[in-house]
Structure 1
Amino acid sequence: MFFDLGVRDFLDRAETVYPDRVAVVDEPDQPAPSWGSLTYREVARRARAQAANLDALGVPVGGRVAMVSHNAARLLVSFFGVSAWGRVLVPVNFRLAPAEVKYIVEHSGAEVLIVDPELEHLLDTVTAKHVFVLGRDDDAIWGGDGTPAPWAGNESATATINYTSGTTARPKGVQLTQRNLWLNAAVFGLHTTLSDDDVLLHTLPMFHCNGWGMPYAVTGLGGRHIVLRKVDGTEILRRIEEHGVTILCAAPAVVTAALDGAATWEGEIPGRDRVRIVVAGAPPPTRTIERVRAELGWEFIQIYGLTETAPLLTVNRMRSEWVDLDPHEQARLLGRAGTPALGVRIAVDTDGEVLAQSNHNLDGYWENPAETARVQEGNWFHTGDGGTFEDGYLTIADRKKDVIISGGENVSSIEVEDALISHPAVREAAVIGIPDEKWGELVTALVVTSSDVTSEELIKHCREYLAGYKCPKRVEFLDELPRTATGKIQKFKLREPFWQDRNRQVN
């Protein structure tokens, strides 16, 4: 007997087993009217209504629906309302500049574009066949009690296209199938020991690799979603206390925010000996891991992966063999990327590049067969990261591709360099990431100029073309950039002064 795996399985189980349980508590402070608390019965009803309304618009199976939104119950429901009936959700980073959003919407061929009210200005330059604004157009998207046209399901069908910055100036659309998402969610839930008692705080942007799969996993197991629109350390602690949060996923910058919030928190830190925080994006310093465990009293879990791998590749979690070690040594061991998740194979090639095989690696890059073939050569996914794999544990040592991870978000150095060089005073530019305790890596520009210009002017210029988090936070002026005999910029020489005291080239 065979049944296609699909994201609708998670919604169907939640509605069948936990129909009257509170499924999601929406962000109360947002420009669109909050949806408040919804049961799983109501989540399923709104998802079916969304699918039926897409039927009415004539959006076919396989049609793309782009959504540019902060974390919201509306976005959570759309993971099912769009993909569970065969269409493709394109969750777009709300921090992107209008030109970047325009490229993604056009490149994906999205027929429907849904935007947050704070982002309505995007519609001045970004358009699609059907355009909606959250709150104002809710009835057209989630209204009614319509029954969607049946879809038999196809686990090989693309369920989401997630755009990620890579080594080229243009983001690539990662096609994740129904099977990819199902298996990633199931394996993720297994390794983080999710249950129906869990309460997830959405500190991770849902657009970021589909909230790493937690919207599916927590739903399927009947847990509760607490929506957080904006990351703030004190507010994270307050929501943990108010809602009994047990788990959250976070980039290193969110970890720092929580620690900062704890410094001024009055009374016992909420969630002590209850909360587990799953961290990815870049390995935090050992000292930060120590502080999470000691000052917050939370369990620290680290994972490693990429959007292209849905994302789970490795997991690092405290184990019984380490109980007698001192806390510093435990934290050092937890700083590694981790062990292969169930069903994942890890290898390191002769050049030191980390390779991975799994059933939740991407199907391909949208309309980019050449790049798809390159990263999947030899039936291994080529991560572009350098590392070592010893005693069952992967350690990331450096980044082979020129991607900077700042605050958990990918920044293409080439994309930033293009923006810098478009300024008439800039003759050459190289962009690198340097260590930063808050952001992990700080986007830093090293420029050669042909006329006078200030760092402030260059940063302001970049903001016209790029999202704020991609813009350089630091600019240094050089007389020339180091190059090879063939003229290629030697970025390793530029990085050396900033990383020379570190034993690995990521932070």
Structure 2
Amino acid sequence: MYPNWILQRAYLTPLRNALTYKEQTWTFQQLNELSIQRARQLTALGIKQGDRIAIMGPSKPELVIMIYACMHLQCEMVMLNRRLSQAEIAYQLEDSEAVVILIADEDIEKLPSHASPLLFSAIEKGTEASIVISKEWSLHQTTSIMYTSGTTGFPKGVRQTVGNHQASATASVLNIGLQADDTWLCAVPLFHISGFSILVRSLLYGNKVHLYDYFDVEAISQNIIDGDVTHMSVVAVTLERILHTLEQRSAQASSRFKLMLAGGGPVPVDYLKRAKALHLAVAQTYGMTETSSQTATLASEDAMSKIGSAGKPLFFNQIRIAEPNLSGEGEICIRGPHVTPGYIGRFAQKSATVDGWLYTGDIGYLDDEGYLFVIDRRADLIISGGENIYPAEIENVLLTHPAVKEAGVCGIDDEQWGQVPIAFVVLKEQIQIDQLLAFCQKFLARYKIPKKIIITDKLPRNGANKLLRRKLKQ
């Protein structure tokens, strides 16, 4: 058993600042008291300890407090991505069998019409019931559930336990170090593992989170210039926007700013050179939802000598290459205490690991010094602005349209987003491309909608009639 992170942090450093949003700041003690109050209000509404609940809201203090309240109740939190379509959210609600949906008032329109959620405002005004907050948590207790796209086109609900998050945060701090006045700027969504892991690290390390509900490049750049923050998580597209802003201002990062963790795909060499000129240390990382954030990280001092590498596995983690070819390239496999114990819903019976190893589907190799190089992210995966897009998801939607006979999707390079999806379709009957795009808008998040749809007579397939997506680009 391990301590309830929220209680323990409030006990150890009650008056230390925990969260800043706009002009307001909360201490760890204040967040603990507010979250316990919210837990009592949730209990009065019938939510029981250990219930599986779905939660959605923008990255604001109200969401942080609601998350901590659910953690106090040891609920399993299905973190709903507010960028998804109603159809995608409906699938996750049905698959997860969440007993209730907790939602910020401003997000109510994002839910399918048949949903009956509890609004944050109603919870906050509600009565309180007496509860006993557990002072200890089991390492095997599921804390969060995040849906990740799959090659089948059906997203999988990934379980992340207390032990997974704790191992991830501990391995990260052993890599980057810790000081009491460190402040992590969080401008990534809290429903993503990148955002949620920042909250976990805050509780375990006792560091402040400087929270943004959207990517405000001007304000964020000023924080970096002024030294208000010491760390930040970015993807390539947001890093470039910060670099551009600093360059436009002829400004540099404060000496107090320590590190940017860059995930969601490789960082272009040009960005690394520009960052170095601005005194901005960038550490590239490799991780996934199934590993509760980072598995490997490239130290910033190695960025130029190991261009294209994701670094070495963090302290508790192991990486091996399965069935390598003559060049040493094969499937990346991961083992460690940060790896998910499994899935929920339709994939509940699917084992996450084989003999303890998570087979990622990513192709890569380890060089002579043990540095990981990722060649292909899950073969057909499209990474657009840090968001993972599986072609099968888009193809499945297109194939439900009565005018579409066949559909194939691939990613093409994009200056702003890294990659964007495009679709190739074989038609059964004539239809306007604009009509197909409008159809996609009903069922897909905006970032998944093909940037271009190309009508073709046939799609490239192999002898087994399997779609060859790599040939779509050609």
Please report the TM-score for the alignment, with normalisation by the length of structure 2: 0.91
1:344-386 deviations in Å (ceiling 9; x for gaps): 111001151000100110010113457632x412221000100
Aligned partner of 1:284 among 259, 267, 270: 267
Q: 1:222 to 1:378 in 2, by over 3 A?
A: closer
The reply to whether residue 310 of structure 1 matches residue 283 of structure 2 is no
Distance 1:419 1:293 in 2: 43
Distance 2:179 2:45 in 1: 38
Structure-1 residue corresponding to 2:327: none
Aligned partner of 1:172 among 144, 151, 156: 156
1:182-203 deviations in Å (ceiling 9; x for gaps): 1111212222223221111112
1:50-449 maps to which residues of 2 (within 5 A)? 50-123=38-111, 125-128=113-116, 131-135=117-121, 137-140=123-126, 147-150=131-134, 152-209=136-193, 211=195, 213-241=197-225, 244-265=228-249, 268-271=251-254, 274-294=257-277, 296-319=278-301, 330-331=303-304, 333-350=306-323, 352-368=330-346, 372-373=350-351, 375-390=352-367, 391-449=369-427
Q: Which runs of 5+ in 1 are unaligned?
A: 29-35, 323-329, 498-507
Q: How many residues in Structure 1 have an aligned counterpart in Structure 2?
A: 468
Identity %: 28
Structure-2 residue corresponding to 1:487: 465
* SS of 2:210 mapped into structure 1: strand
Contact 2:321 2:333 in 1 (8 A): yes
Distance 2:66 2:421 in 1: 33
* SS of 1:338 mapped into structure 2: strand
Q: 1:447 to 1:435 in 2, by over 3 A?
A: same
Q: 1:42 to 1:13 in 2, by over 3 A?
A: same
Distance 1:244 1:39 in 2: 17
For 1:376, the aligned partner's letter is T
Contact 1:166 1:403 in 2 (8 A): no
1:141-179 deviations in Å (ceiling 9; x for gaps): xx8696544365321111111111111222111011111
1:442-495 deviations in Å (ceiling 9; x for gaps): 111122234444444332221111110111112233221111122111112223
The reply to whether residue 466 of structure 1 matches residue 463 of structure 2 is no
For 2:262, the aligned partner's letter is V
* Greater alpha carbon shift after TM alignment, 334-343 vs 355-364: 334-343
* SS of 2:221 mapped into structure 1: helix
Distance 2:453 2:12 in 1: 55
Alpha carbon RMSD of aligned pairs, Å?
2.4
Contact 1:201 1:240 in 2 (8 A): no
Contact 2:57 2:104 in 1 (8 A): yes
Q: 1:25 to 1:146 in 2, by over 3 A?
A: farther
Distance 2:9 2:227 in 1: 20
Distance 1:91 1:278 in 2: 22
For 1:47, the aligned partner's letter is S
Distance 2:91 2:164 in 1: 25
Q: Which runs of 5+ in 2 are unaligned?
A: 325-329
For 2:373, the aligned partner's letter is T
Please report the TM-score for the alignment, with normalisation by the length of structure 1: 0.86
